[in-house]
Structure 1
Amino acid sequence: MSLNVRIGVNPLSWMNDDLPSLGGETPLSVALAEGQQIGYAGFELGNKFPREPQALKTLLAQYDLALVSGWYSGRLAARGVEEEIEAVGPHLDLLAQNGATVVVYGEVADSIQGAPRPLYQRPRFFSDARWNEYAERLDRFAAYTLSRGVRVAYHHHMGAYVETPADVDRLMALTSDAVGLLFDAGHITFAGGDALTELKKHIGRVCHVHCKDVRPEIVKLARNRNWSFLDAVINGAFTVPGDGTVDYPGIIACLAAHDYAGWLVVEAEQDPVIAPSYAYAERGYRTLRSLVDGICKEAA
């Protein structure tokens, strides 16, 4: 049993990509300085980061931070593999030249994650043919990124084609090991799954982990009142590890039991006016640090 991990953070605690008004006034330098002070080893990309490889490298070096990875808005549900490979080029260069070994692939074709529409209106693949076509495209795309030294970390996401545990199960069954799974404990819980159960099912494919927690009472309201994904975010559906009901002790123990090596990324879309950035980012870090250190002591 081993746990070779680094703890990183997504800048969503300070500023929101889907809702730029949340934390829009916060300079990137504040997020980087506070994240480094808390103890994080790296950051995922956000909308305020430079997109030129050397500029990004220089910026992160100022704070002694690594590049964890970065979200890529993929459209393989709507376009061909060659077009997708051409589109991903600059982003892949940015990641590869800054030492990131995974790319966060989020399918945004037909997604309603940023739209003012209730979550039940999300897109779905309604036939075996559509599922098979999508999986085949994703496999080919993932093989290409892997040839560049960067593995696809597929992000199941609220409001998208692959949202529920059943969706994740099917995608993993139809694709090869070239397609890694980004396990997001918050999204899988919001989608109706038990995070630890789903992690155990697909642990062999997990290459990246997003650590957010869930406030179930808000998720229930979101479902009952037909909120959009962004309405749920604004109202506090997500929070940092240790502030919700997700079984993080169980998740960290499961990762350790399967010798997970990679990043644990604290990520919690919240309004920083209501959930102060530093306090919540620190709480998420302390929760994970304590659990990881406890595992390491047991193994010693």
Structure 2
Amino acid sequence: MFNPRLGCSSISFRHQDLPAALRTITDLGFGEIDLGALPGVCDHVPYDLDAGAVAAVAAEVVASGLRVRSVNGDVGDLNAVLDAKGVAARERHLEALLTLTADTGARALVLPCGALSHDPVRSLEEDLDTIAAGLMYAGQRAAEFGVELWTESLHFLRFCWSLERAELLAQRLTGSGVGIVMDFSHIVAAGEDPLEYLRRHEGRISHIHLRDAVPGNINLSIGNGHADFAAGLRAAAAQGYTGHFSLELETRDVTHEERPAAAAKAASYITDLI
């Protein structure tokens, strides 16, 4: 029904519990998902992710028959200064997320590009160094589980919120194997140009999230904002991008009852552009 490279993030139906969200996505005709594991954003994966919780979520996802492209998770602020207890807690949560990623057959775990703040904890350069080091370490651990590590950068709400900061982080990650997730909505919300983002990140992009936005607002349905998806997807294809796309419709301009129809409409539109 839709292009097989186009999936739907479970975040799009975060108001439903995980079984209901998976049924909705399946009924719409998608074959692939990104699994939301972001506390406070999407509770489909418990933050207290012990072995039992990992097994339960993985079993639910596998039983749905949906392919999983990535698990979109969080292990805390990667530019935070942690004591030994904090480091141990982060390590436990990273291992649990990587186990979930592997057990669901996902290709990658996605982690954020720093704290939910634009202000440095120490300094711009030191924070970028710390974030890059944390991502590269997570990438090394991911390889042990047979999966990849990606980071969503730029992200309008997080430390690497601008084109400049996203590029500085990408430069630090060069050669590390850590992939970059491009999100149209965060780029537009930051007042940046997706085409310039693509130019600066050529050859680095592993996955693309799709949602619309206007400057300052990331929560719009596709077609209700300023993102030029046609031009952006053409540019990505011209660069040789062969990865997948995911509708991450964490929108606030439709009711919950309207979400399935809005997702289907967006998927049909994007399918025509891929």
Change (3 A) 1:87 1:193: same
Distance in 2 (alpha carbons) for counterparts of 1:102 and 1:69: 5
**1:102 corresponding residue in structure 2:** 108
Superposed, 1:42-191 pairs within 5 Å as 42-46=32-36, 47-49=43-45, 52-74=53-75, 75-79=77-81, 83=88, 84-107=90-113, 109=115, 111-112=116-117, 122-124=118-120, 126-156=123-153, 157-177=155-175, 178-191=177-190
Distance in 2 (alpha carbons) for counterparts of 1:166 and 1:130: 14
Q: Deviations over 1:67-88 (max 9, x none)?
A: 2222221332125696444430
Aligned residue among 13, 21, 37 for 1:31: 21
Distance in 1 (alpha carbons) for counterparts of 2:205 and 2:185: 15
Q: TM-score of the superposition, structure 1-length normalised?
A: 0.73
Question: Are the equivalent residues in 2 in contact too, given 1:53–1:98 (CA < 8 A)?
Answer: no
Distance in 2 (alpha carbons) for counterparts of 1:99 and 1:289: 24
Letter in 2 for 1:103: L
Paired residue total: 252
**2:40 corresponding residue in structure 1:** none
Task: Note if 1:270 corresponds to 2:272.
Answer: no
Distance in 1 (alpha carbons) for counterparts of 2:172 and 2:96: 28
Distance in 2 (alpha carbons) for counterparts of 1:189 and 1:285: 20
Distance in 2 (alpha carbons) for counterparts of 1:87 and 1:55: 16
Deviation at 1:93, TM superposition (A): 0.4
Distance in 1 (alpha carbons) for counterparts of 2:44 and 2:137: 31
Deviation at 1:145, TM superposition (A): 1.7
Question: Are the equivalent residues in 1 in contact too, given 2:4–2:31 (CA < 8 A)?
Answer: no
Letter in 1 for 2:203: G
Unaligned segments of structure 2, at least 5 residues: 37-42
Q: Deviations over 1:97-147 (max 9, x none)?
A: 2111111101454x25xxxxxxxxx32363434433432333233233234
Task: Note if 1:240 corresponds to 2:226.
Answer: no
Change (3 A) 1:134 1:270: closer
**1:257 corresponding residue in structure 2:** 238
For the residue of structure 1 that corresponds to 2:35, the secondary structure is: coil
Q: What is the aligned-residue RMSD (CA, Å)?
A: 2.7
For the residue of structure 2 that corresponds to 1:123, the secondary structure is: coil
Change (3 A) 1:251 1:48: same
By relative contact order (CA 8 Å, sep 6+), the higher-ranking structure is 1
Letter in 2 for 1:279: A
**2:39 corresponding residue in structure 1:** none
Distance in 2 (alpha carbons) for counterparts of 1:158 and 1:45: 21
Distance in 2 (alpha carbons) for counterparts of 1:138 and 1:32: 29
Change (3 A) 1:11 1:138: closer
Unaligned segments of structure 1, at least 5 residues: 16-22, 113-121, 223-231, 293-300
Letter in 2 for 1:153: W
Q: TM-score of the superposition, structure 2-length normalised?
A: 0.80
Deviation at 1:53, TM superposition (A): 4.7
Question: Are the equivalent residues in 1 in contact too, given 2:70–2:110 (CA < 8 A)?
Answer: yes
Distance in 1 (alpha carbons) for counterparts of 2:81 and 2:195: 34
Distance in 1 (alpha carbons) for counterparts of 2:246 and 2:164: 24
Superposed, 1:203-218 pairs within 5 Å as 203-214=202-213, 216=214
Distance in 1 (alpha carbons) for counterparts of 2:20 and 2:140: 37
Question: Are the equivalent residues in 2 in contact too, given 1:73–1:106 (CA < 8 A)?
Answer: yes
Deviation at 1:54, TM superposition (A): 4.5
Deviation at 1:49, TM superposition (A): 4.7
Percent pairwise identity: 23
Deviation at 1:38, TM superposition (A): 2.1
For the residue of structure 2 that corresponds to 1:56, the secondary structure is: helix
